[in-house]
Amino acid sequence: MRTRDAVVAEGSATTPSQDAPGAPVEYAARTRGLRKVYGGTVAVDGVDLDVPAGSVLGMLGPNGSGKTTTIRMLLGLTTPTSGSVELLGRPLPERAGDVLPAVGAMVEGPGFYPFLSGRDNLLRFAAMEPLLPSGSVRVAVADALERVGLADAARRRYRGYSLGMKQRLGLAAALLVPRRLVVLDEPTNGLDPAGTREIRRMIGELRGSGTTVIVSSHLLAEIEAVCTHVAVLSRGSLLAQGDLATLLEAGGPALLVTTPDRDAAVTALLAEGVSARRSSEGVRVELTGTSAPRVVAALVRSDVEVHEVRRERAGLEDFFTQLTEGVSATTEGEGP
């Protein structure tokens, strides 16, 4: 199991602030020692986050791990108890007025009026966009509604929108003007598979246009599909961050064993000092420090019936499980 120190990414301690508007920056967002305490609850605990410019960074973590609180502090919506935030090379809150117009966000409770239509809600947001000339407001709203597939429902009241439509409207508000950074908190919440694909497509488009995206999710497959980088939070701490492909490589190769005796297989392998856990498909075995023949021999010695053994690339699910649970055996599926 990787330790926090071993995996927390590379990167220099400081980024020189660059004052020219729109000047390229190495990191679209950075935090140092970011901490938030609510009463007796430490929601975020000393997070040093690095979001490289141009990346799509997936913020992963179970419920309550501090994703939303971190995002709210990044956007200046919540004041940190301690620590610092830098967006597009400028410190927050000091330079919020310069930098926030270039940042689009979709976070919980975007503050839409229930009695106004989706379009009228967006017009209100658009009127507050410093980067949008007043003559372009209507076109920008129409474009944003079209882009998120809400053009047909634009004149319906917000309170009649489904959860998925509300998510789309939040995204439309984030995309009213071209942004350098877009932050999306659980953007696929409430969306059907087609809506989820649409969000992925939009994230891909944003990346293609050079926009940095931070997207939080507890859905590992979603992160793996769209992200170039990942940051894993658990109980307010950053357990790992970095380039997704490198982190997955560090996870090492794995075997998937198909067997009707999953519990017996895990027990036999753990007794041999081999890291194994039940998964929905069978038993996942880490090959670090062992080999496929040794694994099979251990199973046969223990009279475990083996139907199939195949090599697998370690997925994000394995990586995440190792980091957040820190144990070698877990149960995540039912049945044989």
Ligand X SMILES: Nc1ncnc2c1ncn2[C@@H]1O[C@H](COP(=O)(O)OP(=O)(O)OP(=O)(O)O)[C@@H](O)[C@H]1O
Binding site for ligand X (CB under 6 A): 38, 41, 43, 61, 63-69, 218
Least CB distance to ligand X at residue 67 (A): 4
Nearest distance in Å: CB 3, ligand X: 22
Closest CA to 215 of 175, 173, 186: 186
Q: Please report how close the Cβ of residue 295 comes to ligand X at its closest, in angstroms.
A: 35
C-beta separation of 57 from 51 below 8 A: yes
What's the Cα-to-Cα distance from 117 to each of 5, 171, 285, rounded to whole Å? 49, 15, 53
As measured in angstroms, the least distance from the Cβ of 47 to ligand X is 11
Is the CB of 43 or the CB of 153 nearer to ligand X? Answer: 43
Q: In terms of CB distance, is 213 or 287 closer to ligand X?
A: 213
Place of tokens 């129409």: 142
Structure tokens at 21: 């508007």
Cβ proximity to ligand X, 140 vs 323, nearer residue: 323
**Geometric angle at alpha carbon 65, from 62 and 71, rounded to 5°:** 110
Instruction: Tell how strand 212-217 and strand 181-185 pair up.
Output: parallel
3-state class of 33 per DSSP?
Answer: strand
Q: What are phi and psi of 106, to 5 degrees?
A: -130, 100
Among 264, 270, 276, 273, CA closest to 330: 276
Smallest gap, in angstroms, from Cβ of residue 213 to ligand X?
Answer: 17
Q: Which of 172, 153, 47 is nearest to 105 (CA)?
A: 172
Which residue, 34 or 100, has its beta carbon nearer to ligand X? 34
Nearer to ligand X, 216 or 279 (CB): 216
Residue with tokens 């701490």: 237
Choice between 43 and 102, CB closer to ligand X? 43
Rounded to the nearest whole angstrom, what is the least distance from the CB of residue 159 to ligand X in the complex?
23
